Amino acid sequence: MPRVKVNYLGILPPMVLRNGEYVEVEEPATLGDLIKMLGLRYGEKFRCSLQHADGSLIWGDVAIVVDGHPVHDADFPLSGKREIEIALIPMIEGG
């Protein structure tokens, strides 16, 4: 199984109690598969921070970068990818 490095940024490190980790993914895995797997590992609060109830990703507050390129598609294939950064950045309101 291939491994990818997942870096947690924003308010995610306190949720998962780490800044990053190596995760084994099954081929063919997508970004959505990885998020689902991490949600099962880290629980409801983590999952609900990144996904709607229907499983779609919450793109408004989440920034995901794969091998240095922003990704906005849960169906993005992870085959051959090495590093994934997931940032949960709360919306800032004000005026």
- pTM (two decimals): 0.84
Nearest to 2 by CA among 34, 22, 25, 32: 25
Please report the DSSP string for 2-17 in residue order.
-EEEEEEEETHHHHHT
Residue 89 pLDDT: 67
CATH of the domain at 24: 3.10.20.30
With a cut of 70, which residues of the chain have pLDDT below it? 88-95
Please tell me the total count of domains within the chain: 1
Structure tokens at 64: 């995901």
Residue 93 lies in a domain: no
Determine the Cα–Cα distance for residues 82 and 38; give it in Å rounded to an integer: 17
Classify residue 37: in a domain, yes or no: yes
Per-residue pLDDT at 3:
85
Q: Does residue 94 lie within any of the structural domains?
A: no
What does the alpha-carbon distance between residue 84 and residue 86 come to, in Å, rounded to a whole number?
6
- Provide the domain limits for residue 59: 3-88
pLDDT the model gives residue 34: 92
